[in-house]
Amino acid sequence: MGAAPSFAAIFATILVMVSNTPLASRQKRLHSKIMEAKDARTKATSETLKSMRVLKLHSWEPTFLKKLLQLRETERNWLKKYLYTSSAVAFLFWASPTLVSVITFGVCILVKTPLTSGTVLSALATFRILQEPIYNLPELISMIVQTKVSYDRIQEFLGEEVQRKFISDHGAKASNVAIEIEPGEYAWETDSKDIKKPIIKITNNLKILEGYKIAVCGSVGSGKSSLLCSILSEIPRISGAAIKVYGKKAYVPQRAWVQTGSIRENILFGKDMKKAFYEDVLEACALNQDIEMWDNKDMSIVGERGMNLSGGQKQRVQLARAVYSDSDIFILDDPFSAVDAHTGTHLFKKCLKGLLSQKTVIYATHQLEFLDAADIVLVMKEGLIVQSGKYEELIVDSNGELVRQMNAHRKSLDQVNQPQEDDSLTGGLCQISQTEVIEEKHGEPNCNDKLFESSQEEETETGRVKWSVYSTFVAAAYKGALVPVIVLCQVLFQGLQMGSNYWIAWATEENRNVSREQLIGIFILLSGGSSIFILGRAVLLATIAVETAQYLFLGMITSVFRAPISFFDSNPSSRILNRSSTDQSTLDTDIPYRLAGLAFALIQLFSIIILMSHVAWQIFLLFLAILGISFWYQNYYITTARELARMVGIRKAPLLHHFSESIAGSTTIRCFGQEDRFMEKNLSLIDDYSRVAFHNSSTMEWLCVRINFLFNFVFFLVLVILVSLPRSAIDPSLAGLAATYGLNLNVLQAWVIWNLCNVENKMISVERVLQFSNIPSEAPLVIEDCRPKPDWPTKGTIELENLQVQYKPTLPVVLKGITCTFLGEKKIGVVGRTGSGKSTLIQALFRVVEPSGGRIIIDGVDISTIGLQDLRSRLGIIPQDPTLFQGTVRTNLDPLQQHTDQEIWEVLNKCHLVDIVRRDQRLLDAPVAEDGDNWSVGQRQLVCLARVLLKKRRILVLDEATASIDTATDNVIQETIRKETCRCTVITVAHRIPTVIDNDLVLVLDKGMIVEYDKPKILLEDRSSWFSKLVAEFLRSSKSNHPKNLV
């Protein structure tokens, strides 16, 4: 063609590639933004799913859904920009042969280079072959850049300074020293300018001898947990010498951490089974009767985060895990808070003074009756050890912090009007079984196993992806109206591109009388038309992709938020999160293009087959045979590939779940020295996932090799046919054009078959998202025809009429016809053993579980007739497990933004949180970490109390609301509750007898029925009453360790 056209072709090629480069860098930038937005949304989704029970009880799920949708909108905006940029890249890819052809042939016309159909067809074939490299080089650069973004993110994460120092060998030690504590300062946030002082400051040397029992006490937020964490080297040291620990450690965190797995696996925690010792541990940790109640005994499965265990059961399981480890040093953070007085005493005697009698034990506690058994008592206040020494010495100091707390403890005990004890009563109490455990539970024990056995395996479809999935996906955006337009654009593009190529091949033959201007003019017109249609196709496809992904996301997330609590009990959050992240990502950027790519490739393939058949009809028969063989191969492959693709999705959830579970329990894992075991488990799960992913890719390669070979062979036969036919039988221009397009045939057919299979594999993500878009929902949030009055409830009277509840029709009835009335403005205490139905009663009140019979009436309104939001938003509850959300102090206290700063400060003052909030200069805007990890458990309970007092509800439920608070603060808080709720109906589920002893009425439940319901005074007068025995037991356990001079 000569030098000038060749240089023009090179120039055009470079121009296309250079044009692609800024687009590729823009893609990279937008991809980073999408990743950041997706991270934020996934994190928020994870936190929301973990706290769904609390959100539903407070009727906050619409607000949190709105926040999630705002995060998704940010992500969607970046996604839209990214996909429209991708449209420009796709336009360049498809238009590049056309552009290069126009420039090259234009230069040929200008310099009057002679054009023949042979040179034209050769040039067109070359340009089509160049199309892939022209596109792929910037694409390759883009992929390298994306990989670099991901690599840098990982590198940045791994490169963060790790403050924790692993101290394995401290050299020689004194023969009987277990722990050496030296002066030093510790702070969680070492780089924060807003924190005014370190969390923990140790000013004196302290040596703890082997076998010593060290008690740590102090008010809420005094630094007890932080001191224990500093001993574990879990809190960054900002000055001073490191704390030296000699020997193996075991740790029981304040917020219980149990793994998904059996009770036995949780207790053994990687150690071998020693049957006799194991039985002793179960006995010491009061787990025997719980295990007897479960169908599968100690092989019963614990759900995600132990949600099918009560707070007390979780605490005792993790205590058993520590005791069974047979370590040298035991660090227990408030191990008695989640259990009743009787069980607490049992644990103290059988564990601390029994199995651990020869071990070094450091225990933080609010139960001051357990202090005098300690060899040393450390009293904490504002991060300092203000007193240390023997209990007898500290109790003499009348101005000391310990005496102040002991006086508060005595005041708490004085509230309990002890019934007249006689020998027969006291003697009888000794016979009370250790299993009379009064603790609150989320789900009754008789249904736990069945509930969890059904939740372990993920539901999955089998066989072909149903056509309904495809039709739902295609019709999701604008009811499928743009789909025919896109197909038409592709058909017109294909027709005009082939037309332009045929025109220039036909017009350059010697016998054609076509002027140069006419030749290039019509070529540019046809080529330009094809480019316009390809641009339209790319833009419309991006629009459909964004709208479809959003439609399916909204369907899924709305359905999940409206699902009943039982759905979250039987589906681990990792399973829902997998669909919300991985599957949604596939929907966002992959599936629309795969599906469209398949349609476009099919149109291209059929147009080439039609062109070739037009040249020589014999080729059509050949193609029919080859297409038949290809589809046979594809069907043979897809049955395996489809199931492998499903397995890839299913294998990912356990990996995510184990990883998040390990992160949550990282302190415990490190303390027990179990990092290697958890790493091995993690690698094993990665191998399980990678194995399936590898086979998934291998099957695709298997298919591609065979299809490639098949179509290369076909092209060879086509060329043989074209060469063999006499010149008079075929049009040379058409034959040349057919050969030109045939060069791409093997790539195209592989693309068709690969897309055909890949589309079905990828559509499994749509199938999985749609699975969670049709979850049976709770009752409506609002029923317009049955809305209560704005000031309802006015009195707070609750009537239970023959209330019957069962979790599933196949499970036993939990509440068996309860009938009673909670009078308005009265305080009602609810007590009962594990499994007695206390939790179910509260859940029925909030309609977390719907009654199977009977009804609940509040101020004359049957609660089953009104919307859930109208019901739950008018009630207040402080759940047993205090939940804080990532955000600020303000957003945690007032998520709905309904109150002024002044109102917030007032409730903070009532709940004794003002000083804690003022420690940070940002005040109400001070950050709260995920799960409230930068607040102690006691402080979190106070925040939850403040949250409820701020709402000013007429009916308030306290579910063991002050379990992790010291007695002094508890007394003040109880006084605050009494004062602030004097005109409210308060239902209290409690372990601590002083919490319910001054209530107007006490309801005692057993096996789902009412045993007693009367005034506490009347119940105490009857010494044979269940409540009377409970009070006497509390007094006996409290006073047996209580100092005589303070009682």
Listed in sequence order, the DSSP H helices in 111-197 are 117-159
| Same-domain pairing of 555 and 648 | no
544 falls within a domain: yes
| Same-domain pairing of 267 and 345 | yes
Can you tell me the distance from the alpha carbon of 776 to that of 772, in angstroms, rounded to the nearest whole number? 10
Confidence label for 440 from pLDDT (cuts 50, 70 and 90): very low
| Same-domain pairing of 367 and 490 | no
| Cβ atoms of 657 and 303 closer than 8 Å | no
Reply yes or no on whether the pLDDT at 1046 is more than 70: no
Can you tell me the distance from the alpha carbon of 390 to that of 375, in angstroms, rounded to the nearest whole number? 6
pLDDT at 810: 74
| Same-domain pairing of 750 and 820 | no
pLDDT at 89: 81
Q: Of 724, 745, 762, which residue sits at a domain end?
A: 724
Q: How far is CA 127 from the centre of its chain?
A: 50
Higher pLDDT, 416 or 230: 230
Distances (CA, A) of 931 to 46, 252, 691: 11, 18, 35
Confidence label for 223 from pLDDT (cuts 50, 70 and 90): confident
pLDDT at 444: 39
| Same-domain pairing of 945 and 918 | yes
- Which range, 121-135, 295-309, 565-579, has the best average confidence (pLDDT)? 565-579
Q: Biggest alpha carbon distance in the chain? A: 127
Joined together, the tokens standing for residue 39 give 């991270």
pLDDT at 947: 86
Side by side, the strands of the sheet bearing 875-878 are 875-878, 955-959, 985-989, 827-832, 1001-1006, 1009-1014
Reply yes or no on whether the pLDDT at 1039 is more than 50: yes
Can you tell me the distance from the alpha carbon of 311 to that of 314, in angstroms, rounded to the nearest whole number? 5
| Same-domain pairing of 357 and 268 | yes
Q: CB neighbours of 604 closer than 8 A, spacing ≥ 6?
A: 494, 748
Match 């009938």 to its residue by tokens. Answer: 819
1038 falls within a domain: no
Expressed as residue numbers, the domain containing 943 is 880-955+963-996
| Same-domain pairing of 813 and 678 | no
Distances (CA, A) of 76 to 467, 550, 586: 27, 8, 14
First to last CA, the chain: 110
Beta pairing partners, 987: 828, 957
Give kind and range of the element (H or E) at residue 251: strand 249-252
| Same-domain pairing of 204 and 145 | no
Q: CB neighbours of 303 closer than 8 A, spacing ≥ 6?
A: 260, 309, 451, 452, 455, 569, 572
432 falls within a domain: no
Confidence label for 422 from pLDDT (cuts 50, 70 and 90): very low
| Same-domain pairing of 125 and 229 | no
Sign of CA dihedral 444, 449, 453, 454: negative
Q: What is the mean pLDDT of residues 1017-1030?
A: 82
| Same-domain pairing of 283 and 353 | yes
Q: How far is CA 704 from the centre of its chain?
A: 38
For the chain, give the mean pLDDT. 78
| Cβ atoms of 367 and 336 closer than 8 Å | yes
List pLDDT tens digits, range 258-273. Answer: 888 888 888 888 888 8
The CATH number of whichever domain residue 272 belongs to comes to: 3.40.50.300
Secondary structure letter of residue 583 according to DSSP: I
List pLDDT tens digits, range 805-831. Answer: 887 777 778 888 888 988 888 889 888
Reply yes or no on whether the pLDDT at 449 is more than 70: no
Reply yes or no on whether the pLDDT at 547 is more than 70: yes
Confidence label for 636 from pLDDT (cuts 50, 70 and 90): confident
Reply yes or no on whether the pLDDT at 506 is more than 60: yes
| Cβ atoms of 941 and 969 closer than 8 Å | no
| Same-domain pairing of 109 and 26 | yes
List pLDDT tens digits, range 514-530. Answer: 777 777 788 788 888 88
Q: How many domains does the chain have?
A: 5
- Which amino acid, one-letter code, is at 865? T
Reply yes or no on whether the pLDDT at 451 is more than 60: no
164 falls within a domain: no
606 falls within a domain: yes
Side by side, the strands of the sheet bearing 177-181 are 206-209, 177-181, 244-245
Listed in sequence order, the DSSP H helices in 395-481 are 401-414, 423-430, 445-453, 467-474
1035 falls within a domain: no
| Cβ atoms of 104 and 153 closer than 8 Å | no
- Which range, 253-267, 584-598, 642-656, 957-971, has the best average confidence (pLDDT)? 253-267
pLDDT at 940: 81
Please tell me whether the peptide bond between 793 and the residue prior to it is cis, using omega within 30 degrees of 0: yes
Q: Do the bridges between strand 1009-1014 and strand 200-202 make them parallel or antiparallel, or are there none, so unpaired?
A: unpaired
853 falls within a domain: yes
Joined together, the tokens standing for residue 810 give 């196949």
pLDDT at 783: 84
169 falls within a domain: no
- Which amino acid, one-letter code, is at 919? R
Confidence label for 236 from pLDDT (cuts 50, 70 and 90): confident
pLDDT at 964: 59
The CATH number of whichever domain residue 152 belongs to comes to: 1.20.1560.10
pLDDT at 593: 80
Can you tell me the distance from the alpha carbon of 1041 to that of 345, in angstroms, rounded to the nearest whole number? 10
| Same-domain pairing of 892 and 941 | yes
Distances (CA, A) of 675 to 130, 502, 623: 53, 68, 60
